Structure formats: C-alpha cells, structure tokens
Amino acid sequence: MSISSKFLDALTPSAIRSITGQIRAKAAQGIEIYSFAGGLPDSNLFPVKELKDITDKVLETEGGDAIQYAASDGYDPLRNELVGLMKKKFSVENISYKNIFITSGSQQGLNYISKGLIEEGDIVVCETPTYVGAIDSIKSYGPRIVGIPMDNDGINLDKLEDVLKQYKDKVKFIYLIPDFQNPSGRCMSIEKRKKIVELAEQYDTYIYEDAPYSLISFTNQVMPAIKSFDKYDRVIYAGSFSKTIAPGIRVAWIVADEESIQKLIYMKMRDDLQVNNIAQRQVYGYLHNYDFDAHLRLINSTYMKRRDVMLQAVKDYFPKSTKVVKPEGGLFMWLEFDKDIDTLKMFDFVFSKNIAYVPGTFFCVGEQGLNTMRLNFATLHSDIIREKMKEFGLLIQEYLNG
C-alpha cells in the first residue's frame, strides 16, 4: 500500500514539470520537441571549464575537508561574498554574513518560508500571473492564495491595499517577483518598491522577494531590491545562481534579519542538514576569482538577441491582435491573445506537431488567463527560434481555422 496522508494525497505534479515529462516521453521515442516551455537557461552558456578548474583546485587544496559535514547556515566565504554582492548590485546595506543563509535553490527557501509561516486560516497574497512553482509550494501548506492583478510597473498597489485591509491580520506574506517577473517579464518601479515596504509594515505582514532574474538585465540596469528599502525587517529576500551560473548546482541564498535566519537554519537542520559543499565552493570560487560581470554581459547579450528574434517572430507570424509585454530582462515573454484563443485547449494540437509552450492559465490565481501563454526565449538558438516560431504561428492559424 502506498504512503498516504491528507498532505501527500493533495500533492499534484507541477504543470511545467508535467510538460517536461511529456517532452521526455517523446524524446524516448526519438522525437525531438522544440520547447519554449521550461524555465531553462542555455546550458551552452554555463561556465563549465571554470567550474571544473575550481573543483579540481578545491579538492587538491582542501582534500577530504571539502566534503566533510559542514555548517547548516552555509559556507562562510560564500556568505561574505554575498554580503558584497547584495550591496554592490542591489543596494542592500548594513548586513553581515549572519544575515545570509545558503539554500539548495531558491525553491527551498520558498518552501521553508511557506512551511514555517503558514498557519490555519492564513492568506498569502501574490501577483497574478505568478511563478507556478511558488503557487504549488505555497498551496501545499493550505492557505488561501489571493492573486492581485499587475500593472506594467508591477503589482497594482490599490488592489493590494484593498486586500490587506479586507483580510487584516490574516495575510501571512506577500509573494513578489519584482525583476523580470516569471512569467510576465515585468519589473516593479522603485516607487512601488518603497510603498510596498510601508504597506507591509502598516498591515503587519511580510514580503517574500523572489529575485532569481534580477541580474539578467538587457539594459544592464539593475534595480535596487525591495529589501534595500526595508527599515522594518519585513522583507525576506531570495536570490539564486540558477539562471546566472547553472541551475543544477542548486545554490541560492536568503537575506533576512539575524533572528529569522536562525529560525530558517533550524529548519535546515531538520531537513537536509546543509547545502552541498562542493557546489558552494564552486560558486564562491567563481564569484571571487573570475569575472562574473563579464559572464553576465555574455548571457545578457545572448538572451537579448533571442528576445528580439522572438518578438519579431510574434509580430510576423502570430495573430495580428496578439499583445506582448516586451521583457527588458529575464527568460520569458508573456503573450495575450484574443479571448477566443484558449491556449490550454490548443496545447495538445501544437504539442502533437512537436512544439511546446506553457498555457498561461497555470500561472494565474483567481482569474483564468485562458488566452495567455508564456514562452521561454533563452534556451534555443536564434535561428531555431525564428524557424519554429514561424511554424508555431502557422499552427495557431490552422487551429483557429478548425
């Protein structure tokens, strides 16, 4: 008999991982799928040689100590390095390594915050659309999730305040992706960043600032983190190297007040004890001894070119009425079609012709978003994007013609 509980039996696979599963099943039959679906950065851009050299050096110089059990809060040289990064890139001042906690991917941080904070009857507020992995993680702890529509410069503050007023003392945290949001590509304005900290203080709630895309900026302009305006210890900041170095190394970090960090460390002691030592040393070695900024320039210029190719293809080949948010960074493009195009229903048809995307409804909370979709422009090369987007446009036409 399989293991069973209310918690376990309510779990479902993530929508995107389900699509990835379908792609793998086709791959096993020798069929190649051109996927605009996943959140994958381009693996050809990962600094493989540098990570190999760092790993060799670590094992040569540290020997077995490098793979011994280690502290649950993270590798101190990396924590210190991140103090500098937070200040230099995101204007977060007055923190020390004690405000930094290393996690196994930012997904783990999100899970800890959800597991640690959410109690019966709680509400979690988020942008809609938002990252489907966050919806899944938060949902598993049973709160009501309330989605707030977005403007072009981030969450709509009037609607947010209405909800905070209406559910006073019930909103446990506000989940936000302020930079190059997944899936919409939008960025939150500085004014909103400041105001939202004040709202969190006024309505006695927290902000979870999920920021894995902040450094993938095509204008090379990086916004100050919401955390940089946090005078009240209301913001828990989560950064990640998944999109800038490589996701498989699973190194991310949280920035919060010392007491909160200590509580998260206690959770880690009960969970997986520590993040992989080698992975932490790889990231530390890379940040400390190599030119991370040059690497960012390379990935950003590559992704920007692909964004441009995709944008042009949407204009050339997709229905003329398609609305698109031009992303100035990140990995994703968000499309809105006329109401009669149901992207969820259309998925099977397009997938049967070996092209994948994510129907936008999966990212929506409290609205359906059936006429929307998210496309990843970062994974595939420009010439393939152009060719496959043309095919995709023709498939949409064919689908609409019945």
Ligand X SMILES: Cc1ncc(COP(=O)(O)O)c(C=O)c1O
Which residue lies nearer to ligand X by CB, 313 or 365? 365
| Buried/exposed 241-260: b ≥16 CB within 10 Å, e otherwise | bbbbbbbebbbbbbbbbeeb
Which amino acid is present at 100? I
Min separation Cβ 5 and ligand X, Å? 25
Which residue lies nearer to ligand X by CB, 58 or 177? 177
Which residue lies nearer to ligand X by CB, 170 or 307? 307
Q: Which residue from 127, 138, 251 is spatially nearest to 180, judged by alpha carbons?
A: 127
Which residue lies nearer to ligand X by CB, 107 or 184? 107
Secondary structure of residue 276 in the 3-state scheme? coil
Question: Are the C-beta atoms of 84 and 139 separated by less than 8 Å?
Answer: no
| Of the residues 20, 33, 39, 380, which one makes contact with ligand X according to CB under 6 A | 39
**With binding defined as CB under 6 A, does residue 212 bind ligand X?**
yes
**Long-range contact list for 22-30, CB < 8 A, 24+ apart?**
22/351, 22/356, 23/356, 26/354
Min separation Cβ 381 and ligand X, Å? 21
Min separation Cβ 335 and ligand X, Å? 18
- R_g of the chain computed on alpha carbons: 21
**With binding defined as CB under 6 A, does residue 20 bind ligand X?**
no
Write the interaction track for ligand X spanning residues 178-197; mark x where CB under 6 A is met and - where it is not: ----x---------------
Q: Which of residues 70-109 bind ligand X (CB under 6 A)?
A: 105-107
**With binding defined as CB under 6 A, does residue 177 bind ligand X?**
yes
> What is the DSSP track for 157-221?
HHHHHHHHHHTTTTEEEEEE--SS-TTT-----HHHHHHHHHHHHHTT-EEEEE-TTTT-BTTS-
| Of the residues 128, 184, 217, 240, which one makes contact with ligand X according to CB under 6 A | 240
**With binding defined as CB under 6 A, does residue 210 bind ligand X?**
yes
Q: Which residues bind ligand X (CB under 6 A)?
A: 39, 105-107, 131, 133, 177, 182, 210, 212, 240, 242, 247, 252
